Amino acid sequence: FPSRPKTFTAVVTSTFSPSVFTMAPKKGSKTAKKAVPTKAPTKADPLFPSRPRSFNVGGAIRPAGRDLSRFVRWPKYVRIQRQRAVLYQRLKVPPSINQFTKAIGKNEAASVFNLLNKYRPETAAAKKQRIKETAAAVAAGKEAPAKVPHQIKFGLKH
């Protein structure tokens, strides 16, 4: 491309009358404006030098009305709960683990505890009593009573 001149100047010939270039008078009040007192110029702060701002596209000015909430430094608890929600959407959690994300209700808990109470493991004294009765029955030659009653235990070593 050929280089263009940096400035454009209009050449006015003498055929135009000067009235073409004058503007119409402003409408409104004709009172004289009061003189605004000007402040004395202050010295620039060396810690904060003034830099010219670029108003071009991609310059120093952001468009008005832009949603900047994505660029906010959110508190840690907000970031954690958002990341957790994203992880739960992306990961497939097995049902055996997912059952612990919801707490049981009070009524259901009461019925479960009543059921588990029936199958509570026997105490050491009750176990000792049962073994003595079994040994006495075997020594007397009678039929041995029923085996250990059903019980629910937890953990691995039993």
The answer on pLDDT for 19 being more than 70 is no
Q: How confident is the model at residue 18 (pLDDT cuts 50, 70, 90)?
A: low
Considering the entire predicted model, what is its pTM?
Answer: 0.35
Read off the pLDDT of residues 108-133 as tens digits, 9 standing for 90 and up.
999 999 999 999 999 999 999 999 99
Nearest by Cα to 117 from 152, 154, 156, 147: 152
Give alpha helix (H) positions in the chain: 76-90, 95-98, 106-118, 124-139
CA 122 to CA 114: how far, in whole Å?
16
